[in-house]
Amino acid sequence: MILRPYQDRAVSRGVKALKKHKNTLIVAPTGAGKTIMLSALAGRVRPKKALILQHRDELVRQNMSKYVAINKKSRPTLFNAGAKSWQGDAVFAMVQTLSRKNNLGSIPALDLLIVDEAHHVAAASYIRIIEQVKKINPDCMVAGFTATPQRADKKGLRTAFDNCADQVAIRELIALGFLVPPKAFVIDIQGVRDELSQVKKLASDFDPSGVEKVMNKRTIHAEMIRNWKEKAGNRQTIVFCSTIQHAEDVRAAFLATGVKAETVTGDDPIGARRKLLSRFQKNDFQVLVNVGVLVEGFDEPSVGCVVLLRPCSFKSTMIQMIGRGLRPMNGKRDCVVLDFGASLLTHGDIDAEVDLHGRDGSDDAEPGEAPVKVCPEESNTTTPYAMPDHEGRFGCGAEVPAGVVNCPFCGFRFERIGAEDGDADAITLTEIDLLDRSPFRWVDLFGTGKVLIASGFGTFSVVASPNGDDWFALGKQREARVMQKITVAGKAQAVAAADDFLRENEQSSAANKARRWMTDPATPKQAELLARLGYEIDRDPFGGGAQNFTKLTATAHLNFQWNRRQVEYLLGVSN
């Protein structure tokens, strides 16, 4: 498997940070492939024994299989309520089980501790485990991965990490086609924003009962369903409510209009909850109304609409909710977001605000290292940033990527002293061409941009559009008799899916081959095969090959012509 470009960047920076600091945090949004990244990081560090802390039992075995796909010689084992083994070179452990006193003492000497969903490290159960690991081996490296480092309770992560190696932006993944863009609508019902502004804030969020009094009204239900039917009526939908009663009343409103809907809450037994989520994934019903349960850990690509029927006092909560609908799938172009709590107006966007160009970077960063800056503390009088920031916060002293606008540990906003209102340290990323970042070389087959093809040793992919609107990603492995349709989507999502197909089925040696073949002239055998297919060949008088084709372009054309009938059939342009 070959990592995506941002994955390789984050892992490389993470390894360097571990060598320098013995700890690091990597921030990446839902859909970035955190399990792939943590597995690759472990593979590059090569610990004798690693521990991967997991928060949700449902994902452990799935994550173990991904770990083995990256680290093929690894033999991981499991430590949870049903199995307690330290025999593997990598142990996947449930925090809830390992943190118990009778299990803490069983932890052996570790070289690497990886914390998945690392925003939980401020919890007592995580602290006990980390302290025990460090007690046994003070030199054990600690790496954390999370989508939302800023906790709702404002507890910092500095007990475990003093630096952030990399922060992947949501907009980078959208621009590359690995996430679909949100299509957001803020529905400002008269009087609602004023009423919500009067709801008191608790430690973790707005008071749920106060929100319910404002949002759980028939007039709002009717307006919500009207907008939903108008903008997203045929999409699988997740609705976020404030209380159980609010969720039940919203479900009843959907049912009254003939829309199949169910409710899931934290009070539901785990078994019943799993069955309900399975039914939703099978499209047995269209709308899933929830209270807090689906904020994190539930990833269903078919979700095409997210409805926020509650405000979010913390941006991290809003990002998690909207992130439930950004995973791509066949035919999905975007995710409709209906915001009735004005969270998008409050927080501005759904990104962690990363400047990919790193304009604040240190000039003396070593070659290959990410430029960094230090979050300024109150005692720092030399910082170029205003202290406190516009919300009255001082920094925490953590080392963070040069491009971040908000510190992932304490939330401090890097605002330059003397900057005009509206000035920003972030450059909004509008477009990234994945074709330029792919390890494979993509060939524009006919110069029209409508048929692109890339080849590995035993795999090739085609991205094509019969109409310029619907883009098909197709793939075929050498041993397969027929091509497979990977997805139909927008161009960016189709290219990303096709590129992933190659990355998952090829190794870096195949990508290197494609690079070498960019300038090598086509071989005599390739020239002969192309001539048989009707191509005009400008023969090399000395070698007998084709001067008007390289090995790369010749391979692309041959793969396309040999499979043309299948390609045209899948595109729907032939029988």
Query: Is the CATH number 3.40.50.2300 carried by domain 176-347?
Result: no
Average pLDDT over residues 341-349: 78
Which tokens sit at 96?
A: 């809830």
CA distance 75 to 91: 9
Band of pLDDT at residue 532, cut at 50, 70 and 90: very high
Whether residue 114 is predicted with pLDDT greater than 90 in this model: the reply is yes
CA distance 93 to 110: 13
Distance of CA 336 to the CA centre of its chain: 18
CA distance 538 to 534: 13
CA distance 361 to 403: 7
**pLDDT score, position 202:** 76
Share of the chain above pLDDT 70, in %: 91
Average pLDDT over residues 137-165: 85
Most confident by average pLDDT, 129-138, 263-272, 298-307, 521-530: 129-138
Order the strands of the 459-464 sheet from edge to edge: 443-444, 451-455, 459-464, 471-477, 484-489
Residues 6 or more apart whose CB falls under 8 angstroms from that of 14 comprise 24, 26, 37, 41, 143, 165, 166
Average pLDDT over residues 114-141: 94
Average pLDDT over residues 321-332: 90
Helices marked H in 206-341: 208-215, 218-232, 244-256, 270-281, 315-323
Q: Looking at the chain, which residues constitute the CATH 3.40.50.300 domain(s)?
A: 5-168, 176-347
pLDDT per position as a tens digit, 493-517: 999 999 999 999 988 888 777 777 8
CA distance 325 to 180: 8
pLDDT per position as a tens digit, 549-559: 888 899 999 99
Average pLDDT over residues 526-537: 92
Helix and strand counts by DSSP (H, E) for the chain:
20, 22
Is 3 in contact with 168 (CB distance < 8 Å)? no
Band of pLDDT at residue 424, cut at 50, 70 and 90: very low
CA distance 475 to 498: 7
**pLDDT score, position 519:** 79
CA distance 263 to 246: 10
Whether residue 93 is predicted with pLDDT greater than 90 in this model: the reply is yes
- Give the C-alpha distances (Å, rounded to integers) separating 112 from 108, 154, 159, 409: 12, 27, 17, 21
Angle at which helices 551-562 and 564-571 cross, to 10°:
70
Return mean pLDDT, the chain: 86
Peptide bond into 401 cis (omega under 30): no
Whether residue 352 is predicted with pLDDT greater than 70 in this model: the reply is no
Distance of CA 360 to the CA centre of its chain: 25
Average pLDDT over residues 101-112: 94
Band of pLDDT at residue 421, cut at 50, 70 and 90: very low
Among residues 274, 284, 207, which one has the least CA distance to residue 246?
Answer: 207
**pLDDT score, position 366:** 43
**pLDDT score, position 278:** 93
Kindly give the pairing relationship between strand 459-464 and strand 451-455.
Answer: antiparallel
CA distance 92 to 84: 10
Range name among 179-193, 281-295, 504-518 with the lowest pLDDT average: 504-518
CA distance 304 to 449: 28
Range name among 239-248, 251-260, 539-548 with the lowest pLDDT average: 539-548
Domain 5-168 architecture: 3-Layer(aba) Sandwich (3.40)
CA distance 310 to 307: 9
Average pLDDT over residues 320-329: 90
Range name among 195-209, 416-430, 462-476, 548-562 with the lowest pLDDT average: 416-430
Among residues 108, 116, 117, 58, which one has the least CA distance to residue 88?
Answer: 108
CA distance 51 to 133: 10
Is 287 in contact with 260 (CB distance < 8 Å)? yes
Whether residue 355 is predicted with pLDDT greater than 70 in this model: the reply is no
| pTM for this model (two decimals) | 0.77
413 vs 282, higher pLDDT: 282
